């Protein structure tokens, strides 16, 4: 004999209005739990008219899975109440801690506010259902499923909290290691992306292993299997791993950091980002150059950002007709031209060698400021002043020229003349 249950009529419109005024996740949770209770009631098995103790069963003596429907209803109500209570508690804590973090900002208050902000509703729902299920005499298989659900939900939440803690820690490191001008340390800024990825990956690996261990999985054999599988995966993604370790090498060794101007082969530009696989450089002409980290480390890199002084070397030549007196005065002239400019230090100027078409000099001076624009402006000023002084002193710059001398002598040829090439020389 089947038992029939009479249910009261519901005002659907009033129920919808009531649910829309609740917190956004509460209607969903009530719907899920209510549907679960209704399905459980619908699949109730036929029952005998007598209880095991011989008493006659009433209309509400319905058992689902060996558990009285009253116990199901009590557990469902307790789960809903616990879930709503946890949501309310989370909302209150978010508001209070958020207000404290705004009034008294600090690493502890900011971390607490971020942790509460990343606390999701799903773990709260799973915990509420698990606490309610303890009151029911469920089968071992059902209890194991609830246990696994709790482990998964808590593990996901721990990963979210861990990412918040990692971000707060790295941001704190970036804030405490600022340069004297208030800007963040470029070397630490370059390490943010690889460091955040590696730490997050380690966190996920630890959480997964702990979750599997608590779920009753033998992780010893699994770790051994992963070791063998890891070798195969490493061979398959060898280039990707090479770039990943290249990023780690760049972070640790610091051949360059974000903001450095570097030259790699025939390419040059300013480093924008150092990623896990590639490094992006903004070229002087405006386009973006992308280098694989492994290729970048295998190349010769010129880093101009770390230049504290710039050595400038200029070679020039004067004609062979220049007198020795003027030749001896050329170093003094160039020294005066260099010292008339700021941020310069004269090094030397020497008569270097006898070239094919000139007497070659070499001028060397130091720019105490390595800025490229300042260097070019100063070099232009030095060259113009040298040119002006040479014009005043009647010292001529040399340029390649060649003169051939021809000598005619008498001979025995039919025309009575023979042309003989004379010595060829250079005329300066």
pLDDT tens digit string along 226-242?
A: 666 666 666 666 677 77
pLDDT reported for residue 22 = 46
**What is the tens place of the pLDDT at every residue in 313-328?**
999 999 999 999 999 9
| Cα separation, 407 vs 418, whole angstroms | 10
**What is the tens place of the pLDDT at every residue in 97-138?**
888 888 887 778 888 888 888 888 888 888 888 888 877 777
Is a pLDDT exceeding 80 seen at residue 155? yes
Q: Higher confidence at residue 333 or residue 38?
A: 333
Is a pLDDT exceeding 60 seen at residue 45? no
Weakest mean pLDDT among 17-21, 126-130, 213-217, 359-363: 17-21
Which of 358, 371, 368 shows the shortest CA–CA distance to 338? 368
Is a pLDDT exceeding 60 seen at residue 407? yes
The answer to whether the CB of 331 falls within 8 A of the CB of 378 is: no
Q: Kindly state the greatest CA–CA separation across the chain.
A: 157
Environment class of 207 (CB within 10 Å of its CB; exposed 0-12, middle 13-18, buried 19+): middle
| Cα separation, 283 vs 276, whole angstroms | 21
pLDDT reported for residue 64 = 63
- Give the neighbor-by-neighbor strand order of the sheet with 288-292: 288-292, 278-283, 267-274, 261-264, 301-303
CATH 2.30.30.60 intervals, the chain: 178-306
Residues forming a β-bridge with 311: 366
pLDDT reported for residue 412 = 54
Is a pLDDT exceeding 80 seen at residue 147? yes
Helix (H, G, I), strand (E, B) or coil at 126: helix
CATH 3.30.70.100 intervals, the chain: 307-428
In a 13 Å sphere around the CA of 190, the CA atoms on its Cβ side amount to 25
Is a pLDDT exceeding 60 seen at residue 95? yes
| Cα separation, 193 vs 351, whole angstroms | 54
User: For residue 400, what are the contacts with CB-CB under 8 A and spacing of at least 6?
Assistant: 356, 357
pLDDT reported for residue 70 = 74
Tokens of 127: 């915990």
Weakest mean pLDDT among 206-215, 358-367, 369-378: 206-215
Give the model's confidence band at 54: pLDDT under 50 very low, under 70 low, under 90 confident, else very high.
Answer: low
| Cα separation, 304 vs 281, whole angstroms | 14
Is a pLDDT exceeding 90 seen at residue 387? yes
Is a pLDDT exceeding 50 seen at residue 80? yes
Give the model's confidence band at 254: pLDDT under 50 very low, under 70 low, under 90 confident, else very high.
Answer: confident
Is a pLDDT exceeding 80 seen at residue 309? yes
Is a pLDDT exceeding 70 seen at residue 269? yes
Is a pLDDT exceeding 90 seen at residue 67? no
Q: How many other C-beta atoms are found inside a 10 Å radius of the C-beta of residue 44? A: 15
Q: Which one-letter DSSP state was computed for residue 55?
A: P
pLDDT reported for residue 345 = 92
CB-based contacts of 49-53 (< 8 A; 24+ apart in sequence) = 49/1
Q: Is the four-CA dihedral 411, 412, 413, 416 of positive or negative sign?
A: positive
pLDDT reported for residue 428 = 40
Class of domain 307-428: alpha beta
User: For residue 47, what are the contacts with CB-CB under 8 A and spacing of at least 6?
Assistant: 1, 3, 57, 61, 62, 63
| Cα separation, 275 vs 250, whole angstroms | 10
Q: How many other C-beta atoms are found inside a 10 Å radius of the C-beta of residue 96? A: 13
Q: What percent of the chain has pLDDT over 70?
A: 71
pLDDT reported for residue 133 = 81
Q: How far is CA 352 from CA 226, 242, 348, 363, 394, in A?
A: 68, 49, 11, 10, 21
For strands 261-264 and 267-274, give the pairing: antiparallel
pLDDT reported for residue 124 = 85
Question: Per residue in 49-71, is it b (16+ CB within 10 Å) or e — as a string?
Answer: eeeeeeeeeeeebbbbeeeebee
| Cα separation, 317 vs 359, whole angstroms | 5
What would be the CATH architecture of the domain defined by 178-306? Roll (2.30)
| Cα separation, 270 vs 255, whole angstroms | 13
The answer to whether the CB of 72 falls within 8 A of the CB of 136 is: yes
pLDDT reported for residue 209 = 82
């Amino acid at each position: 004999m089947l038992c029939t249950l009479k249910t009261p009529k519901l005002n659907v419109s009033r129920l919808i209005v009531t649910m829309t005024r609740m917190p956004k996740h509460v209607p969903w949770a009530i719907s899920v739990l209510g549907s679960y209770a209704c399905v459980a009631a619908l699949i109730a098995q036929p029952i005998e008219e007598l209880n095991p103790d011989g008493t006659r069963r009433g209309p509400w003596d319905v058992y689902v899975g060996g558990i009285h429907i009253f116990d199901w209803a009590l557990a469902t109500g307790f789960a809903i109440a616990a879930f709503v209570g946890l949501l309310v508690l989370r909302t209150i804590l978010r508001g209070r801690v958020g207000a404290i973090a705004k009034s008294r900002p600090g690493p502890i208050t900011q971390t607490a506010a971020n942790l509460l902000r990343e606390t999701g509703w799903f773990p709260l729902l799973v915990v509420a259902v698990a606490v309610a299920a303890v009151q029911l005499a469920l089968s071992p298989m059902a209890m194991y499923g609830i246990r696994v659900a709790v482990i998964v939900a808590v593990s996901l939440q721990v990963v979210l909290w861990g990412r918040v803690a990692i971000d707060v820690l790295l941001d704190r490191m970036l804030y405490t290691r600022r340069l004297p001008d208030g800007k963040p340390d470029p070397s630490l800024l370059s390490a943010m992306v690889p460091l955040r990825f590696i730490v997050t990956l380690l966190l996920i690996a630890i959480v997964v292993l702990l979750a599997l261990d608590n779920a009753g999985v033998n992780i010893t054999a699994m770790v051994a299997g992963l070791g063998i599988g890891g070798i195969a995966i490493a061979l398959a993604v060898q280039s990707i791993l090479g770039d990943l370790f290249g990023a780690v090498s760049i972070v640790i060794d610091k051949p360059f950091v974000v903001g450095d101007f570097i030259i790699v082969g025939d390419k040059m530009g300013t480093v924008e980002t150092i990623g896990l696989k590639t490094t992006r450089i903004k070229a002087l002409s405006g386009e973006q150059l992308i280098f694989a980290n492994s290729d970048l480390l295998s190349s010769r890199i010129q880093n101009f950002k770390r230049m504290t002084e710039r050595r400038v070397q200029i070679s020039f030549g004067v004609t062979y007709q220049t007198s020795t007196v003027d030749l001896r005065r050329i170093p003094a002239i160039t020294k005066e031209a260099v010292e008339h400019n700021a941020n310069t230090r004269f090094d030397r100027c020497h008569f270097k060698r006898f070239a094919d078409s000139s007497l070659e000099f070499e001028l060397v001076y130091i720019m105490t400021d390595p800025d490229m624009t300042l260097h070019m402006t100063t070099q232009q000023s030095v060259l113009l002043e040298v040119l002006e002084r040479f014009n005043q002193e009647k010292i001529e710059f040399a340029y390649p020229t060649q003169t051939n001398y021809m000598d005619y002598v008498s001979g025995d040829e039919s025309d009575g003349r023979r042309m003989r090439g004379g010595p060829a020389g250079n005329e300066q």
